[in-house]
Structure 1
Amino acid sequence: MPESKPIRIWVDGCFDTMHYGHSNALRQAKEMGAYLVVGVHSDEEILKNKGPTVLKNKERYDAVRACKWVDEVVEDAPYLTSLEYLDKYNCDFCVHGDDVTTMSDGTDCYSVVKQAGRYKECKRTIGVSTTDLVKRMLMRKINPEGTRAECDHEYIQDKLEKFNDNKLPKDGDKVVYVDGSFDMFHAGHAEYLKQAKELGDFLIVGIQGDDLVRQIESTYPILNQEERALSVLACRYADAIILDSPHQLTDEFISKHNISIVVGADQSIINRTKAETKIIPNQDIGSKSIIARILADFEIYQERNRKKGEKAILEAEMLAKEKASLQ
């Protein structure tokens, strides 16, 4: 009896401000088969159908490539998902969240693959979206001293367990340690972790608690610690994480985790530990620059979010009608 070929899956999207909701969708999609191909739309296609992006082409392409569940990235994928692209990349079916995504004229982006019976759904991650993150950043301008509302910890804890591979270093592994806030995790963070991982065999990433981030940055993080941890765990270069990582890295801490080298972004790391250190400068893109982009075009993004709200209502109505027709 001939062996069945590995199932190949197609997922596409904008993946703007790549967040843990995107990663969770890719995780769920990968569980449906063996090989995950992800198509990422261009800035031009997104502007035409949805509005301006926060991150540009290469920043979004690189962020998706860094996700550990992704096997291949297709750049400049069409906004309307086509059978031609599924066939071109030898994909058996397409996966999307249980919401409706529409073209500029209001038609369903996945109508063609749905009609062909080559469409499956995964559960949308509650409490996070690019629109939500933009809203959080806009609120910084209105109320810089404001605080984030508490998330659903039970829901997030479930996702942490699903994201965590529970890896442990093997005997003889050179353990590398790096810490930070990793707020608004982006391609620059991924490149930073990649370079850190290249210094050894096993990379532990310390996630600073919200209070410590406020002390260091003099402001609150956009995402809380648990949300930030999810984004780090989704990165292919991170082997393990430590929550509420300390600012001062004591000999006891270094010994407990068998750390051989500590990585920092600047000279300040030397004052935080007596262990061997390595400086890897911050990459081109940073969380602060992403926030600055939003705040620089405050009115544009306010209008974008208003239109997104109207579109969300329309999409919910379309979804309700579609489900009613299937009953």
Structure 2
Amino acid sequence: MAKRTQETSCSEMTDKKSKQVRVWVDGCFDMVHFGHANAVRQAKQMGDYLLVGVHSDAEVAKHKGPPVYNEEERYKMVRAIKWVDEVVEDAPYVTTLETLDKYDADFCVHGDDITTTADGQDTYHLVKAAERYKECKRTEGVSTTDLVGRMLLMTRTHHQRGSDTTVDKTEIGAIGQGHSARSPWTGVSQFLPTSNKIVQFSEGKEPKPGDKIVYVAGAFDLFNVGHLDFLQKAAAEGDYIIVGIHTDPVVNRYKGSNYPIMNLHERILSVLACRYVSEVVIGAPYSVSADLMNHFKVDTVCHGQTPIMSDVDGKDPYAIPKEQGKFKMLDSGNVLTTQAIIERIIRHRLDYEARNKKKEQKELKILQAMQDKNGN
């Protein structure tokens, strides 16, 4: 009898070890950025299979306000994050035990910030009460609210460095107006990049012998479905995709105004999170040189349908790959651009300003309640 009990115990242990741990993450994922990707990455590390529930436009509008990206764009963007195994569309805003059970998820993961419903209730109170909730670390220095704010103000502070860090007083006034207190979640600090964060996002895989290497370059500012569709097309041209990310001053030269909206390191992480990308070149030169082609053993250089500005010397930045017969124009079939996204924001400026203000006010109330509970 003891032997049978021992055998049963061993069998149970084997089953437990072999059972796939299924993790659930959900959210709006509006203007999908590297902060979202980092939460997804951390959640995937807690299990074997990652399910990501994405809320519909109606749910987002009800509880937070109008989304910048529509639901089809958000579903597509989340599917392209390389740590995601499955996307569940139209996920309920309040995470329930029924939802976890329906998809055979062991537990739910969310960042260590606050998410509430339209009436101010914690959206994870049910799974927390059932002890089927785990937290990951929120990515400091970025939020959808912050990105919307950058576009509403078109400030320069998001990519200033060194002696150039002067801020227009009108910008400070606009930012500070009506904000005697700032939420620690909505009122984000400047993103501070580290080598470790880049390593975490990078695949770290070298091309295999015989791989066809494709090189593309650009700003990839406010990484969106337009970029995504282009990279998917580029990935179909080869086996190993290298993306050159231009520096902030270079982007500013050919984009003008106060572009880029996201600074160099923010753009790098956004691109690295994409499942179609193998490697990035940080601060890639605007012109694709013979040295660059030889160094990375590039077989094909691709560019989309957006206009190509001449380099500072007036020359075509793609002259070398064209001469080598290694240049190809791609049509992704998607006309969405960073400028178009900014125009969406500007068109609905009052709606987004009201959304941001309402969100921060709810967070401040919750923060005050937490402080009162802790006697602070």
- Deviation, 1:148, is 3.5
Does structure 2 conserve the Cα–Cα contact (< 8 Å) formed by 1:24 and 1:125? Answer: yes
Is the alpha carbon distance of 1:321 and 1:116 closer, same or farther for their aligned partners in structure 2, counting shifts above 3 Å? Answer: farther
Whether the 8 Å contact between 2:207 and 2:240 is mirrored in structure 1 is yes
Q: Would you say 1:296 and 2:335 are equivalent positions?
A: no
* Aligned equivalents of 1:212, 1:166: Cα separation in 2: 27
Alignment of 1:120-139 (within 5 A): 120-139=134-153
2:197 paired with 1:159 = yes
Structure 2 match to 1:272:
318
**What code does the residue aligned with 1:300 have?**
D
2:172 corresponding residue in structure 1: none
Aligned to 1:65: 79
Specify the structure having the higher radius of gyration (Cα).
2
2:357 aligned to 303, 306, 314, which one? 306
Match in the other structure for 1:83 = 97
Normalized against structure 2, the TM-score is what? 0.81
SS in 2 for 1:10: strand
Q: Give per-residue Cα distances to partners, 1:165-219, cap 9 Å, x unaligned.
A: 2121111110000111000001221121111011111000000100110111113
Identity of aligned residues (%): 46
Aligned to 1:14: 28
Is 1:232 aligned with 2:271? yes
Distance of aligned partners of 1:13 and 1:174 in 2 relative to their CA distance in 1, 3 Å threshold: same
1:215 paired with 2:239, answer no
Do the aligned partners of residues 153 and 167 (structure 1) sit closer, same or farther apart at CA in structure 2, a change above 3 Å counting?
Answer: farther
Q: 1:251 aligns with which of 277, 286, 290?
A: 290
Following superposition, the deviation at residue 66 of structure 1 comes to 0.4
Q: Secondary structure at the match of 1:3?
A: helix
Any unmatched runs of 5+ in structure 1?
Answer: none
Distance (Å, rounded) in 2 between the aligned partners of 1:56 and 1:77 = 14
Aligned residue identity for 1:75:
E
SS, match of residue 25 in structure 2: strand
Q: Which amino acid aligns with 1:205?
A: V
Q: Is this contact kept in 1: 2:318–2:327, CA < 8 A?
A: no
Contact 2:286 2:317 in 1 (8 A): no
Which of 308, 315, 318 aligns to 2:366? It is 315
Map Cα deviations across residues 256-280 of structure 1 (whole Å, 9 max, x no partner).
1100000001374975133211111
Equivalent residue, structure 1, for 2:183: none
- Letter of the 1:308 counterpart: K
Contact (CA 8 Å) 2:50, 2:83: kept in 1 or not? yes
Match of 1:201 in 2: 239
Q: Match for 1:3 among 7, 15, 25?
A: 15
Residues 100/193 of structure 1: CA separation in 2 closer, same or farther (3 Å cut): same
In structure 1, what is the Cα distance between the partners aligned to 2:139 and 2:233? 30
Are 1:39 and 2:53 an aligned pair? yes
The CA distance in 2 between the partners of 1:306 and 1:256, in whole Å, is: 49
Distance 1:9 1:153 in 2: 28
Shift of the 232–319 alpha-carbon distance from structure 1 to 2, 3 Å rule, reads farther
2:268 is aligned with what amino acid?
Answer: A
Structural RMSD (CA):
2.0
Shift of 1:246: 1.0
In structure 2, the residue matched to 1:261 is 300
Question: What is the alpha-carbon distance in structure 1 between the residues aligned to residue 82 and residue 369 of structure 2?
Answer: 33
Bigger mean CA offset, 282-291 vs 104-113: 282-291
Letter of the aligned partner of 1:285 in structure 2?
A: L
Higher mean C-alpha deviation, range 297-306 or range 226-235: 297-306
Partner AA of 2:361 in structure 1: E
Cα contact 2:65–2:352 (8 A) shared by 1? no
Q: Give, in whole Å, the separation in 2 of the partners of 1:299 and 1:153.
A: 26
- Per-residue CA distance 1:66-105 (angstroms, 9 max, x = gap): 0001000000000010111111111000000112211111
Which residue matches 2:38?
24
Distance 2:159 2:99 in 1: 41
Residue in structure 1 matched with residue 115 of structure 2 by the alignment: 101
Aligned partner of 2:131 in structure 1 is: 117
* Structure 1 residue 285, shift from structure 2 partner: 2.0
Q: CA deviation at 1:155?
A: 4.1
Classify 1:69/1:315 alpha carbon distance in 2 versus 1 (closer, same or farther; 3 Å).
farther
Alignment-derived partner of residue 281 in structure 1: 331
Within 2, Cα distance between the matches of 1:192 and 1:107? 40
Residues 299 and 248 from structure 1, CA distance in 2 versus in 1: closer, same or farther, beyond 3 angstroms?
A: same
